Each structure stands twice: as structure tokens, then as C-alpha cells.
Structure 1
Amino acid sequence: MSGDKSDTGVKAGEEKVKIEEIRPNEDDESQSCRTFVLHEEDHTLGNALRYVIMKDPRVEVCGYSVPHPSEDKILLRIQTDTTCSAEDALRTGVDNLQSLSELILKKFDKAIEKHKQRLS
């Protein structure tokens, strides 16, 4: 892949995920179609993030791939309509996934507590 690369980061919990944005060429003014490289991530985050981002009605296409099993990164491709940029869709997706994860954790903790109360 050739093109301009820029680093950005998205805070996920307490850690900042290293994200590299790949632009197809320097003249590309469109913000609606981008590929992001998420370093030190795999299918676990890739599939969950793809699912949540695709729920956004502004997103036309979102997919991810792992370039090679020995590489510790995923490529996330996002294409949006003209109402938002691909980076905005990514940030919204990360925020939504984090909120969803927190909700699942709270429900899980409540279920564990309820189960412990039944046992005692």
C-alpha cells in the first residue's frame, strides 16, 4: 500500500490504541473513505468494531482484514456517506463499543451477584 500515513489514537478504556491512517494519495480530499491500521489488535476487536460501525446509518461499507496471521495488526476500511468522515465514524464506533462493553459488564456483574445471593 502506498500513500500518505498519519498516526492517530483512540482511547479504549485505560489504554490508547495505536492507529495509523492510510490515505490512497496526497491529493485525496475526500474524508469519507479511509483505511486504518490498528496495531497490536486482532479479530476480537476487528469483528466487534466492524459490527458496531456498520450499525451507524452514515456508514456505507466497513470491513476488516488481518494482513497475515503472524502480523499483530488489522486493517479496518470505512466508507461513509458525505455527512461524516471515516474518522468520525471510527471514533463513534469506538465510543459505542465501549458503552456496549460497559453495559454488558454491569449486567454480568449483577447476574453474578444475584447468583451468589441465591447460593447463600
Structure 2
Amino acid sequence: MEHGSHSDQSKSTFSLADEDHTFANSMRFTLNQDPRVTFCGYSIPHPSDNRVNIRVQTTGDPAREVLKDACQDLMLICQHVRSTFDKAISDFKKSETVEIDDSE
């Protein structure tokens, strides 16, 4: 759900259900890396409400598009972290096997 002036699409507050600080802080960080973003912040309306409000203000581009781009960027970052982690686990297991083989 999006709140804000329909005449100025460069400023919007997005209310996202079933999210918490983990997602919101990651989105805030990702959005603030975008040079089109002049302000980004988030709030949790109430601890018992599983919802976050993310405020985005841009240099002129539609806030909705900038938020979509940030979601895509965050997804790519998560995929990179996951593949790096999986490779490190695989490399560690291989090195353990080599060490065990050497001791025989």
C-alpha cells in the first residue's frame, strides 16, 4: 500500500505487511546507496503490528520505481552472499577431506 500525494510521485510512504527490522533496515541501506534517493527511512508503527512503513523521497524519479529497483538490488546482493557462503562451505569441506587424507 502506498500513501502520498498523487501529484508528486517522487515522495511516497510504502506500508509493507509481514515485515520487520531485518527487511526494512536492509531496504533503507540499499535505497540510500541510490543517488536518486534524497531521503529514506522506516518506522514500525507498533511492536505487535507486523508491518513497516518505508518513506522514500527522490530527486524526481517515481518513488515506486526507485523502491522496485532497490528490491531488485537487494535480491541480487542476497544471491551473491548466498553463493559466496555456499562456496566457502564447499571449499572448507574439501580442505577438511584433504587434511584427513594426508594423515593416513
* Higher RCO structure, 1 or 2 (CA under 8 Å, sep 6+): 2
Kindly state the Cα deviation for residue 22 of structure 1 after the two structures are TM-superposed: 1.2
Q: What residue in structure 1 maps to residue 77 of structure 2?
A: 100
1:64 is matched with: 42
Pairing 1:1-120 to 2, within 5 Å after superposition: 20-24=1-5, 28-82=6-60, 84-120=61-97
The amino acid of 1:119's aligned partner reads E
Query: Which has more helix, going by share of residues?
Result: 2
Structure 1 unaligned regions, length at least 5: 1-19
Post-superposition Cα deviations, 1:63-91, rounded to whole Å, max 9, x if no partner, equal: 00101100000000000011x11001100
Output the CA distance in 2 between the equivalents of 1:85 and 1:33: 8
5+ long unaligned stretches in structure 2 = 98-104
Give the structure-1-normalised TM-score.
Answer: 0.79
Identity %, equivalent residues = 37
Point out the structure with the larger strand share.
1
- RMSD of aligned Cα (Å): 0.8
Residue aligned with 1:36, SS = strand
